[in-house]
Amino acid sequence: MLRWSVILLIIAVIAGIFGFFNIVAAAASLAKILFFIFIVLFIITLFTGRSRTP
């Protein structure tokens, strides 16, 4: 999921250079959404990974 957010960020930057404003807004918003989902899943994984006992 982090890979998708990085890909969309690169698309947003390239589209921004060429001036495609609608593509920039769409790719940037998708990258933000995926980034926050990744952060939430990462935090959940940190807490559930520590609660396991061997």
pLDDT digits (tens, 9 = 90+) for 6-49: 787 787 777 777 776 677 777 778 878 888 888 888 888 888 87
Domain with 18, as residue range(s), is: 2-50
Contacts of 24-32 spanning 24+ positions with Cβ under 8 A? 30/5, 31/5, 31/6, 32/5
Alpha carbon 25 to its chain's center? 14
Counted domains in the chain: 1
The pTM assigned to this predicted structure is 0.53
Question: Hunting for tokens 């999921």 — which residue is that?
Answer: 1
